[in-house]
Amino acid sequence: MSVIRKGRTKPRNAALVLALSGAALLACSEPTPLGAPGVDVAPQFNRSTSPPARLASLGWQELTSSLVVANNLGAQPAARVFALVSVAQYGAIYDRDDHDEGNRSRDEDGRDGRRRVEFERGAVAGASWVVLAFAFPNSAAALEQRVADEQAAARTPHFSRGVEDGKAMGNRLVEWAKADRFTVPFTGTIPVGPGLWTSSAAPPVGPMFGGVAPYVLTSGSQFRPPPAPTFNSPQFLAALAEIRLLSDTRTPEQLAIARFWALPAGTPTTPGYWNQIASDFIEQHGLNEREATHVFALMDAAMMDAMIGCWDAKYFYWYIRPSQVDAAITLPIGLPNHPSFPSGHSCQSAAATAVLTHFFPEHATDLQDQLVQAGLSRMYAGIHYRFDIDAGQDLGTSVGEYAIRFDERKGLLDRIP
């Protein structure tokens, strides 16, 4: 599997990503149902105060991923959970006006960096606890115990004050989530006709997801791509023939790439994969807690919004999957139960790549290699046309770059009440 990942980042097997010490103590709940121009200015990180050996945000991100895996979340609910946790962590430390209690306490304690660190660790813990208890109520008691254990270990009032501020921010995100339209039921009908996708099982996945409240976009349709090639047109037939050829001649390496990038329910999913990449970069570059939570929050919000835009397009066009046209196309992974155009993997991966390249421009080549491979993996698997990949990458890149500009102009928390 080491042939899959390219560049300077250490390969990781998706099945082994994000193992968390003590995660077995968390009770598993039932699977959660699915209810532009580039940026020229790179961010400047302040590394005047060395972060602790292990940031609190990294540990709570790992725990989030473990819960996503244990609860068998699919891509949409997983993206929602990662974004809620990451934005809450960031907000708990760095509110929109930068004048919350936490930031004042940092100013007061500026002579003692340890006090600031303890406050921030508590804020991350409190925010994460509240959001994860909302997302995984069966694990609420274990989450509360984790915070209590961390608080006992810290033995400082600064950590305790951070927990209280973090809980307040976490509750703001929970209220946001309760009104985000994620659980709106599908009451429509699946259209029927030549070139239209048909559901392999009831219900289809995510027909209302394009209407979920975004963090930065004005609507799910803001970057809706133009239509894919007309069914049975020469362009369509050429794209279909390419997937059939890949299916007929699939190499062992292509098969390995298809399986590596599948990331279905029961894995950290695509957002979890990119969160691990972000974690690696954060540790490599010695970011502090504030900087780390900013990276996670902006990337996860962008991925969530890119997925909202992707699903808006999927159920606007209802485009048929390659194997639904040519039954001879073989599938080494499961066929997703939603329309083909555009590719969700490419939408999310492109948004993540745009944000991570903004924060870590020195990794641009490796990130671009992984984005390309993520797209090709879906073609190797026989489940997407090349134009699905191209449209997904364009959409995700647009969302990622828009999120960066939104954050610079208004602040990522601008729409959180």
Residues 314-369 pLDDT 10s: 999 999 999 999 999 999 999 999 999 999 999 999 999 999 999 999 999 999 99
Q: What is the pLDDT of residue 74?
A: 94
What's the first-to-final CA gap in the chain, in angstroms?
44
Structure-model confidence comparison of residues 112 and 228, the more confident one: 228
> Strand, coil or helix: what is 86?
helix
Beta strands in 177-294 (DSSP E): none
Q: What is the pLDDT of residue 95?
A: 60
- Span 275-287, mean pLDDT? 97
- Judge whether residue 101 has pLDDT over 70: no
Residue 267, strand partner residues: 265
CATH topology of domain 54-183+206-415: Vanadium-containing Chloroperoxidase; domain 2 (1.10.606)
Structure-model confidence comparison of residues 58 and 113, the more confident one: 58
- Judge whether residue 302 has pLDDT over 60: yes
Q: What is the pLDDT of residue 204?
A: 93
pTM of the model: 0.86
For residues 200-232, one letter each, b for 16 or more C-beta atoms within 10 angstroms of the residue's C-beta and e for the rest, the string is eeeebbbbbbbbbbbbbbeebebbbbeebbeee
Phi, psi of 250 (to 5 degrees): -55, 125
- Judge whether residue 109 has pLDDT over 70: no
Structure-model confidence comparison of residues 20 and 318, the more confident one: 318
Residue 182: pLDDT band (50, 70, 90) is very high
Q: What is the pLDDT of residue 53?
A: 54
Q: What is the pLDDT of residue 54?
A: 84
Residue-wise DSSP of 383-403: S--HHHHHHHHHHHHHHHHHH
Q: What is the pLDDT of residue 122?
A: 96
- Judge whether residue 5 has pLDDT over 70: no
Q: What is the pLDDT of residue 156?
A: 87
Phi, psi of 160 (to 5 degrees): -65, -40
Kindly list the domain boundaries of the chain, sorted by start residue: 54-183+206-415
Q: What is the pLDDT of residue 94?
A: 84
- Judge whether residue 305 has pLDDT over 80: yes
- Span 50-70, mean pLDDT? 86
> Strand, coil or helix: what is 230?
coil
Least confident of 34-48, 91-105, 370-384, 400-414: 34-48
Structure-model confidence comparison of residues 272 and 98, the more confident one: 272
Please state, for a pLDDT cut of 90, what percent of the chain lies above it: 80
Q: What is the pLDDT of residue 200?
A: 81
Residue 319, strand partner residues: 196
Q: Which residues contact 250 (CB under 8 A, 6 or more apart)?
A: 258, 330, 332, 380
**Average pLDDT, whole number, for the chain?**
86
